[in-house]
Structure 1
Amino acid sequence: MGMEQPLLSSGRSDKLSSYVGGPGSVIPTASLAGNEEVVSLDEVRSAASVPHSDIYPPVLHSPLISPSQPHALSPSYGQEYPGGYQGVGSDPRQVLDEVEIRELLIDHVGHRCCWGSRPARTWKIHAVEDCNVYVGTLDTFVEERETVIEKEPYLGGDVDGTSKGPELGLWELDLRSEFPVLFTPFQERRVKIPRSEAIERCSDCMGRGQIVCPKCNTDEEPGFYKANQMRNCSHCYGRGLIAHADGSDTVCVQCDGKGVVPCSSCGSRGLIKCETCKGGGSILVRKVAVIRWKTLSTRKVSATSGAASVPEIVFHRAKGVQLCNTQAYQCTPAYFADSFFLNKFSSEVIAERAPIPQAARVVCEKHIISVVPVTRVTMTHRNRSFSFYIIGYSREVYLQDYPSRFCWGLCPCMDWLKL
């Protein structure tokens, strides 16, 4: 079983299981040397309230808000199977007879509209081979926080600033009520940082609430403007009169015969209201914490040459046997007393841990090593042959080169990744 970093004290290195209990209940933990220890809810809450510089407090209280999950498994050792697998109470090999194999293949082919069933029904089963595959995963659940600045016009009202107390730091915010279920793929929240508001002078209008009209004062120096700037009437082109086809003229009703009209933006005042501060001259500035919870995943597959042509995503979706399932603040490689291969494979998965963003802290990790039963079947007919795979305990069929197809790759049924 993987040895985990101590969470509560230097003398205790229990792994917290995801267990929800009542106020008087205790949280079971996976024992290390056969000793069963428990951690009370009060102890967890007490530890969570202690400031941590490197370890994020939800590492301790997350078991109180995550759903019930199986406890960490202790690898057990029994009969040794081909490929170095050490049994954990069940044989991962699939024992399939010819009738079952054909039924699975015929059912798989039947869901492809352009595939013929004759090879599945009549070709000879030439070979059946066990190609069990080991799948390793490491999920790192992190919380990332960053501060963004929000601004809005200040039109009066109460301000939550430092006059009410010191501003809270980004990682001082208690977000336990917002905390998601462990290993949620992604979730984001925005929270205003208490006592971070302040009133600033609007930089666009320098606190005046008005800015120079860009239409009638385009040539003026910055900060200066002229009032009563008029522009030529676009209706009569500045003449004040409208010419008619019979040679007569009439007074332009748009400019009342003056040939000029006031600026349409400011009425020739030279100034318009500043939209940034809505004419108030002040801006309310606050800090907002953007919190992102996400799971960073590492996936690794160890397959024999017989199963090397199958995409790894197929094995990750398949159902197998968990040889190791540990959860801790930071997982370490699992230990199997009788399997050097599994120890090495687990170490490789841990070594490929996804990089942690600079603005994030690790909440919890989960490490799983599984064996997926894979059966490779080769069918022959005269001088032709093809192979397919029966994968996992759900017995999904993976088949890429079926010999009886009629759509030449132009039909959606050829999407072989959709088992």
Structure 2
Amino acid sequence: MDRDLSEDASVVDLSFEAESPLAPPAELLEGLSSYDWLLQGGRQQIFFPPLEAPGRSQEQRPWSSVLEHGVPMVTEEVAREALFSFVDSKCCYGSTAVGDLTIQELKQQTVCRYRLETFSESRISEWTFAPFTNHSVDGPQRGASPRLWDIKVQVPPMFQEDTKKFQVPHSSLVKECHKCHGRGRYKCSGCHGAGMMRCSSCSGAKRKAKQPRRCQVCSGSGRKRCSTCSGRGNKTCATCKGEKKLVHFIQLVIMWKNSLFEFVSEHQLNCPGELLAKAKGENLFKDENTMVYPLVDFPLQEISLASQRGIAEHSATLASRARILQQRQTIELIPLTEVRYWYQGKPYIYYIYGTDHKVYMVDYPERYCCGCTII
């Protein structure tokens, strides 16, 4: 029967970093036959068999009217307002030119942006430990440890990345601390157990060079209390926290990742593609399921090909190391407008992109230095 660790009060999230060695001696692992391979590598990816894709093809979609949806056209008034907002956000740009420029031409184009998101789960197991405080130990005597993919946990909301760590049931083993050899303390490395160190001010000479008075730092003794151990000569073992023993257990690390594939259709206007990839668009199409299928006969062939390529890439990348939980593919329309204008007898160009009318321009005629520092 599957165990849901998220509902088990004895299981807590683990956040500390353990010191090596992580694995207890091999002779202690006789009762953990399911995890014998951990002794070889110390940490191993657990491969999950890829889900078989259902043997059906994508339903034919009525694409004929899709691109007719369009987005509102940019007028001269909208173009000027967008430029004014852009200039107003720049401390070194003057706004006079916005009112005086003459718009000559508006070239408008709608770009399609395809996105594929694949939400997957991967699991890793590893040995780790914690100080043993004489608490109850969930060891092999309580039963066989479940295999990693038989353990049920609460999955985060789809497409939200997260990482959780859990203790695998029945995997705990107690042994002597490897750092202090079961003493709980160890000799201070600063003073080598003496509790005192040579004075750094007089180098142990009791007096500073060419000075008759004795050293004020060590009161003329040439030695002072060790600052590392406060004069005790030993330190509490940081590994077992002075408990002398450690409880070793197998830790399950679950990682939920959201892989992203993006493609922006070709356009003839000279606006950087990286801006269009992040631009705000208008949703045209959305398909979400455990597994999605490549788009068929979309009016823009490059979008159909991008869909096929993205799904194939994610399947090839994740099939051998993760389980795909959900996929989502979308198509958005990104409006793009090239604005050509004249100002004081010279031609200039800027671009308006996205449904929120962001502006991109290389040259603006009214620029001055205000002494600001651009980071």
Superposition TM-score tier, normalisation by shorter sequence: 0.5 to 0.7
**Residue among 96, 101, 107 paired with 2:85:** 107
Does residue 341 of structure 2 align to residue 379 of structure 1?
A: yes
> Which whole-Å deviations, capped at 9, do the CAs of 1:82-108 have from their partners, x for residues lacking one?
xxxx426x223x323323322332233
**TM-aligned CA deviation for residue 161 of structure 1:** 0.8
Matches within 5 A, 1:51-130: 54-55=49-50, 75-78=61-64, 86-87=66-67, 90-92=69-71, 94-130=72-108
- Identity, in percent, stands at 22
How many matched pairs?
Answer: 296
1-side partners of 2:128 and 2:263: how far apart?
42
Counterpart position of 1:342:
303
Cα 1:409/1:139, change in 2 over 3 Å: farther
Task: Check conservation: 1:374, 1:392, Cα contact below 8 A.
Answer: yes
2-side partners of 1:205 and 1:130: how far apart?
73
**Residue among 158, 172, 175 paired with 2:136:** 158
One-letter code aligned to 2:158: L
**Residue among 333, 342, 363 paired with 1:401:** 363
Counterpart position of 1:333:
294
1-side partners of 2:114 and 2:262: how far apart?
6
1-side partners of 2:166 and 2:91: how far apart?
52
Cα 1:212/1:406, change in 2 over 3 Å: closer
Counterpart position of 2:165:
190
Does residue 156 of structure 2 align to residue 180 of structure 1?
A: yes
2-side partners of 1:408 and 1:360: how far apart?
53
> Which whole-Å deviations, capped at 9, do the CAs of 1:65-92 have from their partners, x for residues lacking one?
xxxxxxx99853345xxxxxx426x223
Cα 1:101/1:145, change in 2 over 3 Å: same
2-side partners of 1:279 and 1:117: how far apart?
69
Cα 1:167/1:360, change in 2 over 3 Å: same
Task: Check conservation: 1:301, 1:312, Cα contact below 8 A.
Answer: no
Cα 1:387/1:152, change in 2 over 3 Å: same
One-letter code aligned to 1:329: T
Cα 1:299/1:115, change in 2 over 3 Å: same
Does residue 337 of structure 2 align to residue 361 of structure 1?
A: no
> SS at the partner of 1:373?
strand
Cα 1:101/1:272, change in 2 over 3 Å: closer
**Residue among 227, 234, 253 paired with 1:290:** 253
Cα 1:212/1:190, change in 2 over 3 Å: closer
**TM-aligned CA deviation for residue 281 of structure 1:** 5.0
Counterpart position of 1:143:
121
Q: Structure 1 regions of 5+ residues with no counterpart? A: 1-51, 60-71, 80-85, 219-228, 238-244, 246-253, 255-263
TM-score by length of 1: 0.59
1-side partners of 2:299 and 2:292: how far apart?
21
Task: Check conservation: 1:193, 1:287, Cα contact below 8 A.
Answer: yes
Cα 1:357/1:373, change in 2 over 3 Å: same
1-side partners of 2:295 and 2:335: how far apart?
21
**TM-aligned CA deviation for residue 407 of structure 1:** 2.4
2-side partners of 1:232 and 1:391: how far apart?
71
2-side partners of 1:234 and 1:341: how far apart?
75
**TM-aligned CA deviation for residue 363 of structure 1:** 1.6
2-side partners of 1:275 and 1:411: how far apart?
47
Counterpart position of 1:310:
272
Cα 1:352/1:382, change in 2 over 3 Å: farther
1-side partners of 2:197 and 2:127: how far apart?
45
Task: Check conservation: 2:195, 2:232, Cα contact below 8 A.
Answer: no
1-side partners of 2:198 and 2:343: how far apart?
88
One-letter code aligned to 1:295: N
Task: Check conservation: 2:339, 2:350, Cα contact below 8 A.
Answer: yes
> Which whole-Å deviations, capped at 9, do the CAs of 1:117-142 have from their partners, x for residues lacking one?
23322222121111221211111112
Q: Structure 2 regions of 5+ residues with no counterpart? A: 1-46, 205-211, 213-220, 222-230
> Which whole-Å deviations, capped at 9, do the CAs of 1:219-238 have from their partners, x for residues lacking one?
xxxxxxxxxx9999989x9x
CA RMSD of aligned residues (A): 4.1
Counterpart position of 1:168:
146
Task: Check conservation: 2:92, 2:370, Cα contact below 8 A.
Answer: no
> SS at the partner of 1:131?
strand
> SS at the partner of 2:90?
coil
Worse-matched range after superposition: 103-112 or 128-137:
103-112
2-side partners of 1:315 and 1:211: how far apart?
58
2-side partners of 1:332 and 1:409: how far apart?
55
**Residue among 381, 384, 389 paired with 2:351:** 389
Task: Check conservation: 1:144, 1:293, Cα contact below 8 A.
Answer: yes
